[in-house]
Chain A
Amino acid sequence: MTEPVVRLSKLTKRFGHTTAVGNLNLEVQPGEVLGLLGPNGAGKSTTFRLILDLIRPTAGTISVFGLDATQRGIEVRSRIGYLPGELSFPARLTAGEFLERIREIRGLGQSADLAALAERFDLHLDRRIAELSKGNRQKLGLIQACFHHPELLVLDEPTSGLDPFMQREFRDLVRERVQQGTTVLLSSHVLGEVEQMATAVAVLRAGSVVVVSRVDDLRTRAVRRVRVRFASEPIASDFQGVAGMSELKVEGQHMSFIWVGEIDALIKLLSRYRVIALDLEEPDLEEVFLKMYEQPSSPERDPNDG
């Protein structure tokens, strides 16, 4: 069994009477892309700031690369690339001057990667940071986190503010880095983002992990909205009481329902009629989670609304 890149044990962080992170246990394996998922205030950013030693744990331990992050922070941080959730860079510097400083502080020689990344993300290095748009600042944040090829990328809401084209460019970059062996820990409250990049997902709620799951597993247990058009009107009773099917509606040749479970069973079920059109809505992890792990305490979030 290989040593996990990140291991958080019984991690707790309180601010006054507020518990931001409570008894959190989490492991990130080498080469894994773990998505931390949860609503705002679930403790995602706090967890990252603890890993970076910007804030100190109330209780519990943080081990990164097998090192205690609070004792050997410098060594740990030299092997991490961090994109904070709220970007704040020295506003008077140009983007290029800022990146140059980070390169110097990291003690690295001239790097062709900086210029290449700037070009790839279409960032003008001669602009002052104060003049950059939110999206451009986000690009700058990504570049400063990635350019030195860290072993671990810690990305807090990485694609927020990026347009769809740049989001794809960013996902490609992460994918390349993962192929080179980088481990990634990222957070999001947008599920599509995590789904597209992560191999595993940890759902955070009120400062602790509710569930850790592989994205593939989630898909097989996924919730799908299905719309079918048959060549002839189906007999509704053929479909009633089928396991995994709910909210069945039949209108003439059209039928729609919610499907939970394997696709194969669905195909076999539909094949008794001639299908003209089939529309499967891609599984939305939010619906998946809420369906699978919804707690009775929060009835206001009904995934089947609308």
Chain B
Amino acid sequence: MMGEVGQPKRWLLLRHSLWDQRRAMFGWSVGIFGTVTLLVAMYPTVRDTPGLDAVWENAPEGIKALFGLGGTLDISSGVGYLRTEVFGLTLPLLLLVRAIGAGAGSIAGDEERGVVGQLLSLPVSRSRILSERFLGQLISNLSLGLLTMCTILSVAPLVRLDIGFSRLLAATSGAVVLATLFGTTALLVGCVTGRRSAAVAVSSAAAVCGFLSDSLAGLSDRVSWLRVISPFHWASPGELILGGSLSGLLWCLAAIAIQFGVALVAFRGRDLKN
């Protein structure tokens, strides 16, 4: 009877955390499916409105830059439309908000509620909890990206919107990588501080700064260096759908890995709050 010593099966904590997220993920899936469907379905209205491109061409560069849409718009083409309406802001924003919320809740939120402490009183290591929860975040972000692609691929033909598979894949990857990057920032701050509010605040601020420094960099050559520090430049979904280079994604993936590594060290080394 005494001393039954055992270890949890691999991916057990991952399974638990995915199961716990199922309701939230259902909500986000419905939201993203609805939003993307609606946006794509409105394409014919824009395409059949003459002169829209010309209006945008004449808009001040500052305005264009603020929306993250420098250069030629070409909104009446399928690719241009998706760039403006879906991949320019809406989809990255939706994925970001979800990833930041989930990343902050993953360790810090559960720690504040005492759930992490409870889990750690069992024979489980901190690296194990963090790794499997991080993996859960990756899976959630990837599956929402997959859902986005499937939605666009099934709705686009109905409205005669032409989009190449590889460009769609590249742009969606950009959005997923951006969301994962800032979601990992939230996870990292949560691992360092154990406070959910700090995790949300810091990662949101980082995302806003990243977005602004990328878009403002387009305003003048004097501030164009701002671009270099912005993940929105390296993994811009709006550029990727126009056929931009994928190599910038590697920087972002490296940043994700580094953040995860720091989070691991921080979480293993500190006192639990609750």
Assembled-state Cα–Cα distance A88/B112 (Å): 10
A105 at the interface (CB under 8 A from B): yes
Q: Which of A70-78, A165-173, A233-241 contacts its partner? A: A70-78
Pair B121/A104 contact, Cβ less than 8 Å: no
Pair B123/A106 contact, Cβ less than 8 Å: yes
Pair B121/A151 contact, Cβ less than 8 Å: no
Pair B117/A84 contact, Cβ less than 8 Å: yes
Q: Provided the pairs A56-B271, A74-B124 are in contact, do residues A107 and B118 lie with their beta carbons within 8 angstroms?
A: no
Which of chain A's residues has its CB closest to B13's CB?
Answer: A105
A146 to chain B, nearest CB (A): 12
Residues of A close to B20: CB separation below 8 A:
90, 92
Chain A 82-105: CB-based contact to B (< 8 A → 1; otherwise 0): 101011111110000000011011
B80 to chain A, nearest CB (A): 44
Assembled-state Cα–Cα distance A223/B7 (Å): 49
Which of chain A's residues has its CB closest to B124's CB?
Answer: A105
B201 to chain A, nearest CB (A): 23
Assembled-state Cα–Cα distance A102/B118 (Å): 10
Pair B9/A104 contact, Cβ less than 8 Å: yes
Pair A54/B124 contact, Cβ less than 8 Å: no
A64 to chain B, nearest CB (A): 13
A79 at the interface (CB under 8 A from B): yes
Residues of A close to B122: CB separation below 8 A:
77, 102, 105-106
Q: Provided the pairs A92-B20, A180-B1 are in contact, do residues A107 and B8 lie with their beta carbons within 8 angstroms?
A: yes
A52 at the interface (CB under 8 A from B): yes
Residues of A close to B117: CB separation below 8 A:
54, 84, 88
Q: Provided the pairs A55-B272, A78-B123 are in contact, do residues A89 and B118 lie with their beta carbons within 8 angstroms?
A: yes
A166 to chain B, nearest CB (A): 21
Which of chain A's residues has its CB closest to B115's CB?
Answer: A90
Assembled-state Cα–Cα distance A105/B119 (Å): 9
Pair A108/B121 contact, Cβ less than 8 Å: no
Which of chain B's residues has its CB closest to A89's CB?
Answer: B118
Residues of B close to A108: CB separation below 8 A:
4, 6
Picked from A75, A89, A181, the residue with its CB within 8 Å of the CB of B123 is: A75
Residues of A close to B113: CB separation below 8 A:
88, 91
Picked from B2, B114, B118, B125, the residue with its CB within 8 Å of the CB of A149 is: B2
Pair B121/A149 contact, Cβ less than 8 Å: no
A contact residues, range:
35 or more
**Which positions 1-49 of chain B face chain A at CB distance < 8 Å?**
1-9, 12-13, 16, 20
Chain A 142-157: CB-based contact to B (< 8 A → 1; otherwise 0): 0000001111000000
Q: Provided the pairs A55-B272, A78-B123 are in contact, do residues A151 and B16 lie with their beta carbons within 8 angstroms?
A: no
Pair B271/A148 contact, Cβ less than 8 Å: no
Pair B4/A149 contact, Cβ less than 8 Å: yes
Pair A88/B123 contact, Cβ less than 8 Å: no
Assembled-state Cα–Cα distance A49/B274 (Å): 10
Pair A74/B125 contact, Cβ less than 8 Å: yes
A186 to chain B, nearest CB (A): 15
Picked from A15, A54, A180, the residue with its CB within 8 Å of the CB of B121 is: A54
Q: Is the interface of A mostly helix, strand, loop or mixed?
A: loop
Pair B274/A107 contact, Cβ less than 8 Å: no
**Which positions 92-126 of chain B face chain A at CB distance < 8 Å?**
113-115, 117-125
Chain A 46-82: CB-based contact to B (< 8 A → 1; otherwise 0): 0001001111100000000000000001110111101
**Which positions 95-131 of chain A face chain B at CB distance < 8 Å?**
101-102, 104-108
Pair B5/A54 contact, Cβ less than 8 Å: no
A208 to chain B, nearest CB (A): 20
Pair B8/A88 contact, Cβ less than 8 Å: no
Residues of A close to B1: CB separation below 8 A:
149, 180
Pair B123/A86 contact, Cβ less than 8 Å: no
Residues of B close to A87: CB separation below 8 A:
114
Pair A106/B8 contact, Cβ less than 8 Å: yes
**Which positions 109-148 of chain B face chain A at CB distance < 8 Å?**
113-115, 117-125
Residues of A close to B114: CB separation below 8 A:
84, 86-88
Which of chain A's residues has its CB closest to B15's CB?
Answer: A104
Q: Which of B4, B113, B114, B274 has the most A CB atoms < 10 Å from its CB? A: B4
Picked from B3, B6, B115, B125, the residue with its CB within 8 Å of the CB of A107 is: B6
A112 to chain B, nearest CB (A): 12
Pair A54/B115 contact, Cβ less than 8 Å: no
The 19 sampled A-B contact pairs (Cβ below 8 Å) are: A54-B121, A55-B272, A56-B270, A56-B271, A73-B125, A74-B124, A74-B125, A77-B122, A82-B121, A84-B121, A86-B114, A88-B115, A88-B117, A89-B115, A92-B20, A101-B16, A102-B122, A105-B13, A180-B1
5 further A-B pairs in the complex, CB-CB below 8 A; given A55-B272, A149-B2: A49-B272, A54-B120, A56-B271, A107-B123, A149-B1
Interface residues of B (CB under 8 A from A): 1-9, 12-13, 16, 20, 113-115, 117-125, 269-272, 274
The 8 closest A-B pairs by CB, nearest first: A88-B114, A107-B6, A78-B123, A55-B271, A105-B8, A82-B121, A77-B123, A54-B272
